[in-house]
Homo-oligomer: A and B are copies of this chain.
Amino acid sequence: MVETMWRTDLALEVRESFPEDHKEIQGVILTKERKEEEKIETTRVEIKDERGERAMGKPRGTYITIESSYLREKDESYQKPIAKALKKYLEELSGGLKGKKTLIAGLGNREVTPDALGPYVVDNLFTTRHLIKEFGEALKEKYEMESLSAIAPGVMAQTGMESSEILKGIIEETKPDLVIVVDALAARSTSRVNATIQLTNTGISPGAGIGNNRKALNEKSLGVKVIALGVPTVVDAATIVEDRMGEALGKKGYSEDEIQRFLGELDYHSMGSLFVTPKTIDEEVKQISYTISEALNACFSNIYNNGSPERA
């Protein structure tokens, strides 16, 4: 098992980090699917038991990765297949959205662009819980609407409270059946930045991928089913240095062990709080957030799909 594992939030990249000869890892099942015409690649990592958990450093459960460079594109025609895939896997991981009341929590700091994905997604959601409460079941049926509420709780430095505390309180008060937590992640591969969605039924630890340890957000801690939807928006600087240096040394014929010893000489201190992003990060995070909001909106209401201007 590699030591750099902690630097990615993507189960897929943890799986990829094993040496090539580890074709099989006990307790972990990997399947891939590529829809050529839609330029979407889907990977499913299933961690089945404790051996899998130990090997992967992640809790057992299903991790689905949707990869498409179209995710950051403005063109609406590219977004349809992504929305379709997102709906399909949300349905699967939740055991069906129909009849459920869902709360979407957009984690992260809206003042810090690569961390703002969650709040931005929430900004564009079409929530319905209050409409159904006011206008009743007739509205719900007419528009095939499910109850959706949403919150961007902010980060602890802003609120003085754990996201888990805020969400627990809101869940206690409003009783959703399902919580979807949306968060920005860190990836290892620069090509996956702003081009990948990870869905998992294990929930998430906010900020885990970028070195922070805060309280878990999962079914155990929140008391309701939790699906995490994450998008990598950064690679941390140490990761890119390690990876490029490892590759360069590998090409010169050094062994994995020798490379690890070279990496041991790296000045990690100078890279501590630095992240690698594309220069267009502001625009890309806005675009990908919008794509995800629209895909989520289509899961919870038909009123929205039909382009009706009745949006509140």
Contact with B along A189-206 (1 / 0, CB 8 A): 011000000000000000
Contact with B along A93-106 (1 / 0, CB 8 A): 00000000000000
Bound-state CA distance A130–B155 (Å) is: 11
- In the complex where A111-B123, A114-B279, A123-B111 touch, is A174 in contact with B161 (Cβ < 8 A)? yes
* Interface residue from B151, B248, B274 paired with A266 (Cβ < 8 Å): B248
Bound-state CA distance A248–B270 (Å) is: 13
Nearest B residue to A171 via CB reads B169
Asked if A140 lies at the interface with its beta carbon under 8 angstroms from chain B, I say no
Residue among A74, A237, A247, A251 with max Cβ neighbours from chain B (10 Å): A237
Asked if A138 lies at the interface with its beta carbon under 8 angstroms from chain B, I say no
Contact B281 A113 (CB under 8 A): yes
**Chain B residues near A190 (CB-CB < 8 A):** 237, 270-271, 274
Contact B160 A170 (CB under 8 A): no
Contact B152 A154 (CB under 8 A): yes
**Chain B residues near A32 (CB-CB < 8 A):** none
* Interface residue from B129, B241, B267, B279 paired with A112 (Cβ < 8 Å): B279
Contact B248 A265 (CB under 8 A): yes
* Interface residue from B115, B168, B173, B279 paired with A273 (Cβ < 8 Å): B279
Contact A166 B151 (CB under 8 A): yes
* Interface residue from B77, B156, B170, B273 paired with A165 (Cβ < 8 Å): B170
Asked if A307 lies at the interface with its beta carbon under 8 angstroms from chain B, I say yes
